[in-house]
Amino acid sequence: MTAISVPQGFETRTRHDELMSRHTSWHVGGPADLWFMPRDLADLSAFLGQLPGDVPVTWVGLGSNALVRDAGIRGVVICPHGSLNSLERIDETRIRAEAGVPCARIGRQAVKWGLGPAEFFAGIPGTLGGALAMNAGAWGQETWPRVEEVETVDRAGVIRRRSPSEYRVGYRSVVPPARGEWFVAATLKFERDAAASTESIRRLLERRLASQPIGEWSCGSVFTNPPGDHAARLIETAGLKGFSVGDAAVSTKHANFIINRGHARAADIEAVIRHVQETVARVHGVRLQTEVRILGETA
Ligand SMILES: Cc1cc2nc3c(=O)[nH]c(=O)nc-3n(C[C@H](O)[C@H](O)[C@H](O)COP(=O)(O)OP(=O)(O)OC[C@H]3O[C@@H](n4cnc5c(N)ncnc54)[C@H](O)[C@@H]3O)c2cc1C
């Protein structure tokens, strides 16, 4: 493990060897060399400006779509959750949210403001930053059609505004115009929606609860749906529900979820992922692609 010297003045917002299992919804992942939670945008920009250029930088939000390997992450891990937390209404239909704001808060607040379609955000257990990186979506809605502008920071701490046309956006895929740039905020545009209500959010969350193993340690859908089909159907009909390695198991409730039953390692989850991919390829002739982002080093 590399001892990274903390830029001067940032000691209270950094932690050495922070276990990533504390920051992922699968509750797995070894230590990050250095963990940084910025106080605000200016603090983040100053930190990056002072960080030696050869230190790798990784971002996580709520770790709800991240498989961090057992040997952890070299370099700095930046987490905006809990600090880049501002959510404001700019005008009748537009809001600005910083990257650390949980999607659930955006969904609930937009509905209170009478804006839609925003209910889908309420069921996504990540941050806005993660939703922008993933083009998160549910129930036929996605993040990027709502984006009017994003604000990013680069490795040197420079903040930029970018328009959606600069990104190549697809299903759970976002290709940025430049490497080494991360989302710090976005302006989202909705419509006045008289039907948007906390009741419709409640109904969507109930539908989730009925079909997904909510409450168990997972990362949501592990694989993207191949064109014209559903990963869950392919996995289930390949007989893989309940397949396990150690404490990592294909959910018996929703076959596209892998559950950590308590003491799974990232290596166990990766072994289940590989077995599912190989079996589905053999049975159905389809190679499933992971939606989940795999970060860090193997032990
Ligand atoms: C029970 C459950 C249900 C789920 N349901 C859905 C669903 O319906 N639809 C859906 O789309 N997803 C779903 N997910 C997956 C996940 O919640 C989303 O992908 C979410 O957008 C990830 O956000 P996060 O903040 O947790 O990102 P993380 O998991 O922390 O990170 C995901 C990726 O984004 C990158 N990233 C994070 N923040 C930033 C940033 N600020 N700038 C640049 N890159 C960044 C990370 O480096 C990583 O590559 C579900 C997950 C769970 C556990």
DSSP count for the chain of H helices, then E strands: 6, 20
The whole-number pLDDT of residue 233 equals 98
SS3 content of the chain, % helix, strand, coil (to 5): 30, 30, 45
- Give the count of alpha carbons within 13 A of 18, CB side only: 20
Q: Is 56 in the pocket of ligand 1 (CB under 6 A)?
A: no
Residue nearest to atom 43 of ligand 1 (CA): 182
Active site residue 291: yes
Ligand 1 and 124: CB distance under 6 A:
yes
Q: Give the atom of ligand 1 at the shortest distance from the alpha carbon of 125.
A: 17
Q: What is the pLDDT of residue 1?
A: 52
Give the contacts of 16 (CB within 8 A, at least 6 positions apart): 3, 4, 33, 34, 35
Residue of minimum CA distance from atom 33 in ligand 1: 130
pTM over 0.75: yes
Tens-digit pLDDT profile for the chain (299 aa)? 558 888 889 999 999 999 999 999 999 999 999 999 999 999 999 999 999 999 999 999 999 999 999 999 999 999 999 999 999 999 999 999 999 999 999 999 999 999 999 999 999 999 999 999 999 999 999 999 999 999 999 999 999 999 999 999 999 999 999 999 999 999 999 999 888 888 889 999 999 999 999 999 999 999 999 999 999 999 999 999 999 999 999 999 999 999 999 999 999 999 999 999 999 999 999 999 999 999 999 97
Active-site entry in 98, 172, 218, 270: 172
Distance 63 CA to ligand 1 centre (A): 6
pLDDT score recorded for residue 196: 82
Structure tokens at 221: 């859908």
